[in-house]
């Protein structure tokens, strides 16, 4: 009996660790496997990409049971089409580019939808050198402007021109790396672009900031929303919880970025080793001040869209872009995935 009892005890002691080992996966599976989300940026790994690289690096997406991969982009139009094609699940793109895609592809089966506003105001502006004599929008009459054909500021320029009664502008097209170079050389009188991109690029070409005239679209009657987070219809249908989790984790990360831009740029440096940390910190701060932490964003609430302003933008984009069909504002926006008001409180007190 004594021998049998010893054998039984030994058997139990061996089986106990195995039982415990077997329990771990069962417990982990209660939550389910992480959801893979491929995320497409609108541009390269520069300062503003910290808005998404920060929650990724800090584990906020992982804590939300998401496995998020973030890729650099080459423009908002590309981000929209890649999400539409199903290559990416979500992305970051200019709302006007999303509207254009909807209106020009009415029969497309997979039109992405905006689910959170990040840039409450478009960062687009017209920039000229002071020595050109351009001081106000009126001075752009009959001038030669330059920008890539897909530039958001160029596409929306007819709205800016209408609001400021500008006529006679001639356009010169070029690849993005040549835009600021051509302005510095005097090949064009002015350029359009995101202020935080072009102004710093001009500085890199030896032009001092105080020698540049900046005419921001929002300061001259153009109340366009800027970049938004977009989601694929497939993800909306199959896993709406993943979108909610992604937006909540992103909002948490953006709060950290606004609180400490310098620290956030370190995550950009991790993705692009040749990035200039000082330059990208300035770029990020400019993006925050000009497009994210704006008076409208503080009044309306971060992430939110106001229906009348959205409807006006839809009408303006339809006219300015000459779309095949009119933009339907109800089709491009879905705010049902937004986090709670507390989670969206990323801007802090009013300035």
Residues 205 and 240 in one domain: no
Last residue of a domain, one of 220, 248, 266: 220
Domain membership of residue 68 (yes or no) is: yes
Domain membership of residue 19 (yes or no) is: no
Residues 304 and 242 in one domain: yes
Residues 324 and 244 in one domain: yes
Residues 95 and 230 in one domain: yes
Residues 90 and 238 in one domain: yes
Residues 6+ apart with CB under 8 A from 76: 42, 93, 94, 96, 97, 98, 150, 152, 227
Domain membership of residue 351 (yes or no) is: no
pLDDT at 166: 97
pLDDT at 316: 96
Residues 178 and 279 in one domain: no
Residues 165 and 268 in one domain: no
Whether 348 shows a pLDDT value over 60: the answer reads yes
pLDDT at 32: 87
Q: Which residues pair with 40 in a beta bridge?
A: 71, 91
The CA distance from 159 to 137, in Å, is: 12
Q: Are 122 and 225 in contact (CB under 8 A)?
A: yes
Mean pLDDT of the residues in the chain = 91
Whether 85 shows a pLDDT value over 50: the answer reads yes
Last residue of a domain, one of 220, 251, 274: 220
What is the pLDDT averaged over residues 85-111?
97
Whether 154 shows a pLDDT value over 60: the answer reads yes
Q: Using one digit for the tens of pLDDT, what is the confidence trace for 187-222? A: 999 999 999 999 999 999 999 999 999 999 999 999
Domain membership of residue 180 (yes or no) is: yes
Q: Using one digit for the tens of pLDDT, what is the confidence trace for 304-333? A: 999 999 999 999 999 999 999 999 999 999
* pTM of this structure: 0.88
Last residue of a domain, one of 190, 220, 250: 220
* CA 298 centroid distance within chain: 18
CATH number of the domain to which 207 belongs: 3.40.190.10
Q: Are 61 and 68 in contact (CB under 8 A)?
A: yes
Domain membership of residue 346 (yes or no) is: no
Q: Using one digit for the tens of pLDDT, what is the confidence trace for 214-252? A: 999 999 999 999 999 999 999 999 999 999 999 999 999
What is the pLDDT averaged over residues 22-49?
75
Domain membership of residue 210 (yes or no) is: yes
The CA distance from 235 to 228, in Å, is: 16
Q: Is 50 exposed, middle or buried (0-12, 13-18, 19+ CB in 10 A)?
A: buried
Residues 188 and 312 in one domain: no
pLDDT at 224: 97
Q: Using one digit for the tens of pLDDT, what is the confidence trace for 238-294? A: 999 999 999 999 999 999 999 999 999 999 999 999 999 999 999 999 999 999 999
Rounded to 5°, the CA angle 272-278-282 comes to 105
Domain membership of residue 2 (yes or no) is: no
Look at 28-42, 60-74, 107-121, 238-252 and tell me which has the smallest mean pLDDT: 28-42
Query: Domain limits at 73?
Result: 35-121+225-337
What's the total number of domains in the chain? Answer: 2
Q: Using one digit for the tens of pLDDT, what is the confidence trace for 103-128? A: 999 999 999 999 999 999 999 999 99
Whether 9 shows a pLDDT value over 90: the answer reads no
Residues 134 and 146 in one domain: yes
3-state secondary structure at position 114: strand
The CA distance from 203 to 325, in Å, is: 41
Whether 337 shows a pLDDT value over 80: the answer reads yes
Whether 19 shows a pLDDT value over 60: the answer reads no
Split at pLDDT 50, 70, 90, the class of 349 is low
Whether 5 shows a pLDDT value over 80: the answer reads no
Residues 94 and 238 in one domain: yes
Residues 180 and 243 in one domain: no
Residues 311 and 197 in one domain: no
Report the DSSP pairing between strands 124-129 and 90-94: unpaired
Whether 1 shows a pLDDT value over 60: the answer reads no
Q: Are 119 and 227 in contact (CB under 8 A)?
A: yes
Domain membership of residue 276 (yes or no) is: yes
What is the pLDDT averaged over residues 32-60?
97
pLDDT at 79: 96
């Amino acid at each position: 009996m004594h021998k049998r009892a010893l054998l039984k005890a030994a058997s139990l002691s061996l089986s106990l660790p195995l039982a415990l080992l077997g329990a771990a996966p069962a417990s982990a599976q209660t939550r389910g496997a992480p959801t893979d989300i491929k995320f497409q940026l609108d541009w390269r790994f520069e300062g503003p990409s910290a808005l998404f690289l920060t929650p990724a690096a800090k584990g906020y997406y992982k804590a939300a049971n998401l496995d998020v991969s973030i890729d650099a982009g080459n423009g908002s139009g590309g981000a929209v089409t890649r999400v539409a094609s199903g290559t990416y699940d979500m992305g970051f793109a200019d709302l006007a580019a999303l509207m254009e895609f909807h209106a020009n592809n009415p029969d497309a089966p997979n039109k992405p939808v905006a689910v959170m506003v990040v840039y409450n105001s478009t960062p687009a502006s017209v920039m000229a050198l002071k020595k050109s004599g351009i001081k106000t929008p009126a001075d752009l009459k009959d001038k030669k402007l330059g920008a890539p054909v897909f530039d958001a500021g160029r596409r929306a320029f007819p709205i800016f021109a209408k609001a400021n009664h500008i006529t006679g502008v001639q356009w010169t097209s070029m690849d993005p790396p040549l835009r600021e170079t051509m302005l510095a050389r005097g090949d064009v009188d002015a350029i359009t672009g995101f202020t935080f991109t072009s102004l710093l690029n001009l500085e890199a070409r030896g032009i001092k900031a105080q020698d540049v005239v900046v005419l921001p679209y929002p300061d001259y009657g153009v109340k366009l929303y800027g970049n938004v987070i977009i989601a694929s219809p497939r993800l909306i249908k199959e896993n709406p919880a993943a979108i909610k989790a992604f937006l909540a984790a992103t909002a948490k990360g953006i709060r950290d970025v606004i609180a400490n831009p310098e620290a956030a740029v370190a995550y950009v440096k991790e993705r692009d080793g040749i990035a200039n940390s000082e330059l990208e910190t300035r770029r990020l701060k400019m993006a925050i001040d000009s497009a994210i932490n704006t008076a409208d964003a503080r009044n309306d609430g971060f992430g939110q869209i106001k229906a009348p302003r959205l409807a006006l933008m839809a009408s303006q984009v339809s006219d300015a872009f000459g779309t095949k069909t009119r933009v339907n504002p109800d089709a491009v926006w879905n705010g049902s995935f937004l986090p709670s008001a507390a989670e969206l409180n990323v801007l802090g007190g009013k300035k």
